[in-house]
Each structure stands twice: as structure tokens, then as C-alpha cells.
Homo-oligomer: A and B are copies of this chain.
């Protein structure tokens, strides 16, 4: 906090009262043109900028919205969706003249501090990425009743709305198409099974395979990484030399798997067909390019932000609480 020039000095300079200066500052009506000019000149002259802490205290709002990224940092870097969600969120918030404040939480300590931050009234609303069940942050949000939206994880909370995609259905669709290319022995490189999104993709896979489903052909891995694809693909080939199809839980995973196949001289899509998820930059970089599920990450961010903005502007509660599943789209390229 560095400024020392207050409304007082502006008022003195302009030969007016603080009240009038404040009114000019907030663009309120009932100020004469002459007063307005005088104030504006004075502001410029003395170099005044308003102290937002004081303003916050008086108005009880901050004009800022938190975007809480609730993932280990290393993961954040890998996830191709987070960046796009961020872009969408910032665009909407920026338009509505809210400052987006990104808060990363990667430790208990971070988490505690973020809760304090929320309680402290530094933000008027919050958007939470991949909130976990029963974590202190979402609990604090609900308790405080601050306008919020969750992205990527259905809420156990009843006062917070959720924006996401239908992972299960998306998985079903792409696996169905994969099977339609004549694959008979299909495996899955599954990731993030500790989250709903991961579980749902697996569920979709299982459902479509039906009779053909073989649990031994599901290789789980904690993270959606290239390395998971490499290791998983090797294991899969070990378990099923007659494999002819693979559903990778993300494009990065698929890329890792593809490289293994390359090295072994296995032709894609001739011998093995492979599909990914995300339609991230990996998809077009792979050789051959990946068939995958397009996830509308930026739109996810926009919706979430819009939700919060609406709540902030006092929209109807019922309107705001309804959760949304955004549609995904299959992008069919050459890998299957």
C-alpha cells in the first residue's frame, strides 16, 4: 500500500467536499458539470488513486473473483485444458470488469491460506477447478455463501453449481466408433481414477465393450501423462499381443502409446487403432494424427465465470444453481 493521497486532498484542491469527490469518482448523478471538471482536474493534479481496501471496507465488495486451481503444480503444467479454461474465465470476468485472481493450491499450507483469503473478503466470488470432495476450500465457499462455480467436478454441495462435460458419454461415443472400425480386442490406458472424470471415462469404456470387456486390459495410472502412455502401452502389449485397439484417457497418454508402437514397428491404424481425449495440441502433432474427443475447455471457463458474474449481479438463485454439461465432439483423424 503506497499511496498517500486521499480524497481529502482532492476535495481541498477542488474546493469541494469529500462527498462530491466520491460521487464523481463513482460516476453518480447529481453532480454539476463544473464540479465534475474541478474534481477531475484536482485528481490529476494531486495524483489521486482510490484506496481499494477502504473502498472494500465501505462497500463490502472487492470486484475480484478467485480462480482456484486445486491441483499439484506439476499437473497443472501438463493439463492442456487448464490453460484454455483460464482464457475463457478471464475473458468473461474481464468484460464484466472483475479482476481474475488465480490462486494455486498445492499443499495444506496453501489451502489454509486460500481459505483465509476467501474469508478475508478479498474476492467477491470464486471458481474452483477440479475441487475434491469435502475439501476445506469448497466447504469454506459454501459456508460463506459466496457466489461460486465448480468446473470439472460435480458438487456434493447443494449451493454451488457445476459446469462440466459428460465424460462417460463422451467415452462411450468414441469407443463405439473405435469398435466400429472393426476392433475386437481393445484396451484402455486409464488415468486419474481418483477423480470422477477418470472414473467416468472408464465407465463409458466398460459399458460399450460389454461382453468383450476384459479387466486385464485396463492399465491404470495416476496422471494423464506422456510417460503413463509409454509405460501403459508396453504393459498392454505384454498382456495382450493380439491387441488391436486402444482408448487412451488423454491425448498425451495416446502420444506416449503411439511412440511405443512406432518403436516396435506396429502400424497405426492398420494393426492397432488408437483414440485419445481432449483434442489438445498433441492430437495434431502425433503421427498419425489422433482421433479424439474435443473438450470445450475455454467454453467451460466462460460458463463458469458467467455463472459467478450472474450471481454477483443478483440473478435468481434457481437460475444460477442449475448445473450444466457442455457437449463434446468427436474429431476423427487417422489414428483409428
A residues whose Cβ falls under 8 Å from a Cβ of B: 1-3, 49-57, 60-62, 64, 73-74, 76-77, 80, 83-84, 86-87, 90, 94, 97, 99-104, 106-107, 109-110, 113-114, 116-117, 119-122, 124, 144-146, 226, 255, 259, 281, 285, 287
Contact = CB atoms under 8 A, between A and B. Distances in A.
B57 A62 contact: no
6 contacts: A1-B121, A3-B121, A51-B57, A52-B116, A90-B110, A100-B103
B77 A90 contact: no
Nearest to A256: B285
A121 B87 contact: no
A116 B48 CA distance: 12
B94 A64 contact: no
A77 B84 contact: yes
A212 to B, nearest CB: 33
A285 B282 CA distance: 12
B120 A52 contact: yes
A53 B226 contact: no
A97 to B, nearest CB: 7
Contacts of A76: 83
**Copies of chain A in the complex:** 2
Closest 6 CB pairs of A and B: A52-B120, A102-B102, A1-B121, A77-B83, A53-B56, A49-B119
B60 A57 contact: no
Nearest to A78: B281
Contacts of A87: 73-74, 106
A45 to B, nearest CB: 15
A90 B104 contact: yes
A101 B83 CA distance: 16
A50 B120 contact: yes
A219 B94 CA distance: 36
Nearest to A58: B53
Contact of A124 (B1, B84, B99): B1
Given A2-B145, A53-B121, A73-B87, A114 B99 contact: yes
A64 B87 CA distance: 23
A228 to B, nearest CB: 13
A122 to B, nearest CB: 6
Nearest to A298: B73
A121 B2 contact: yes
Contacts of A2: 121, 144-146
B1 A56 contact: yes
